[in-house]
Amino acid sequence: MVSGAINDEATQLGENYPFRRRKLRKLAERHCCLNIRLGKLPAMNFRRFVILIVAAVIFGGPASSMIFTPAAKQALKFTVYRDDAPIGYHNFSFRPRGETLEVDIDVDLEVKMMFVTAFKFRHVASEIWENGRLLSMKSETDDDGDPYKLKVERFGNGMVVEVNGQRRLAPGDILPSNLWNRAILTEDKILHPILGKVLPLEVTKLGKREIETEGDGTISVEGFKIVGGEEFEREVWYSKDGRLIEVGFNTPLDGSRITYKLDSARNH
C-alpha cells in the first residue's frame, strides 16, 4: 500500500487533471525501469516520480521556443515611488554565459507614516534561462510579514512549481511576470513569481511617449497594460531595444500610485 500522504497527493493530481490514481500507478509501473513494487518505494521518491510522470504526459509535446530581448549586458536599476515619495528600489542583474542567461532580482520597499513603518516588502529571486526557455527560478519574499518561498524546476517539457512546500504543475512554456522580459506581451498566460499561480494574461497597447531618465536622458518608449486576472495589473514601458524603462500601477488598498523609474542601465 502506498502511504496516505501519497494517496492524498495522487488524489489532488487526479482532481486537477484527467488521471485516476490507478491509471497513475499503471503509468508509473510502465515507465519504471526497476522491477520494484510501488508499495516499497520511499514516499518522497514516489511523490516526486508521480509528479514527473504526470508532467511528462500532460506537457509531453515540445515546448515552444520563446523569443525575448533581455538586456543581457546590463543591470537595470529602478527607484520605486509611492506617489512622489521614493520608497525603495527594484533591480535586475543579467549574467550571460554562452546560451545560458542568469538573472538576479532584488526588491526592497518600505512605506513609512509618521516615522513608523506602515508597509514593508522584500523580494529576492534568481532565474536561469537557456535558448529562451526558463529552466528554473527561485524566490524568497517577505510581503509585509507574510513569507513566501518559491521554487520552479523543469521536468521534461513541463514545470513543477513549489510554493511554501505545496507543489503544482505548470506548462513548460510559461513565463514569469517579472516584467524585464518583453516576451510576456505575446503570451496568454503568465506565472506569478511569488504565489506560483498560472494567471490568464490580457495585453492592451497604451501607445508611445518620451520618458526622461536619470542616467540615459530622454528615451522613446512604447507602453502596454498587462492584466493577470485579479492578481496582477501593471503598465509597462519598453524602449525600442526591449529594455524595461518604467512600470506603473495603482495599489488596490488605498489607490496610491506606484511608479518604477529607471535610474540607469549600466553595462557590466
Grid cell for residue 170: 505548470
pLDDT tens for residues 238-250?
998 888 999 999 9
Instruction: Tell me which of 86 and 217 has the higher pLDDT.
Output: 86
Residue 71 has pLDDT above 50, yes or no: no
Average pLDDT on 242-266 reads 87
* H, E, C per residue of the chain: CCCHHHHHHHHHHHHHCCCCHHHHHHHHHHHCCCCCCHHHCCHHHHHHHHHHHHHHHHCCCCCCCCCCCCCCCEEEEEEEEECCEEEEEEEEEEEEECCEEEEEEEEEEEEEECCEEEEEEEEEEEEEEECCEEEEEEEEEEECCEEEEEEEEEECCEEEEEECCEEEEEECCCCECCCCCHHHHHCCEEECCCCCCEEECEEEEEEEEEEEECCCEEEEEEEEEEEECCCEEEEEEEECCCCEEEEEEECCCCCCEEEEEEEEEEEC
Instruction: Identify the residue whose cell numbers are 518608449.
Output: 221
Instruction: Please give the model's pTM, rounded to 2 decimal places.
Output: 0.72
CA distances from 238 to 179, 224, 264 (A): 10, 9, 14
**What's the CA gap between 252 and 267, in Å, rounded?**
36
- Residues 133, 185, 82, 210, CA torsion sign: positive
Can you name the residues that pair with 191 across neighbouring β-strands?
Answer: 176, 198
* pLDDT tens digits along 81-118: 999 999 999 999 998 888 899 999 999 999 998 889 99
d(CA 180, CA 92): 8
Residue 77 has pLDDT above 70, yes or no: yes
**Over 70: is that where the pLDDT of 43 sits?**
no
Model confidence at 27: pLDDT above 70: no
What integer pLDDT is reported at residue 227 of this predicted model? Answer: 96
Please report the pLDDT score of residue 9 as a whole number.
Answer: 42
pLDDT at 29: 38
pLDDT at 257: 95
Instruction: Please report the domains of the chain, with CATH numbers, ordered by start residue.
Output: 4-58 (no CATH), 74-267 (2.50.20)
C-alpha cell at 215: 542616467
Whole-Å CA distances, 260 to 2, 14, 115, 234 = 51, 42, 23, 11
Q: Cα torsion for 29, 35, 40, 46, to the nearest 10°?
A: -40
Give mean pLDDT, residues 154-161.
91
